[in-house]
Amino acid sequence: MLETEHYECPYCGEPAEAVLDLSGGDQSYIEDCPVCCRPIVFHLQTDGQKWMLDVHTENES
């Protein structure tokens, strides 16, 4: 199941959109910002229906 979620880049603050695959369960992955190209760490928590997405810089835990 795919969903979209809007977020702000933790580096440049520009708005962007992530496509989330809820069928994979909890996930952590890195994608580059489409504007400033810096690596953003995504943490997705999901039970397949509800989800919570956190984004932060590589230096944040």
Q: Which pLDDT belongs to residue 49? A: 81
What is the pTM for the complete model shown? 0.87
Q: Which pLDDT belongs to residue 47? A: 87
Q: What whole-number distance in Å separates Cα of residue 40 and Cα of residue 46?
A: 19
Token readout for 35 is 């504007």
Give pLDDT tens digits along the chain (61 positions).
899 999 999 999 999 999 999 988 999 999 999 999 999 999 999 987 899 999 999 988 6
Q: Tell me how many helices (H) and strands (E) the chain has.
A: 0, 5
Q: Which pLDDT belongs to residue 61? A: 60
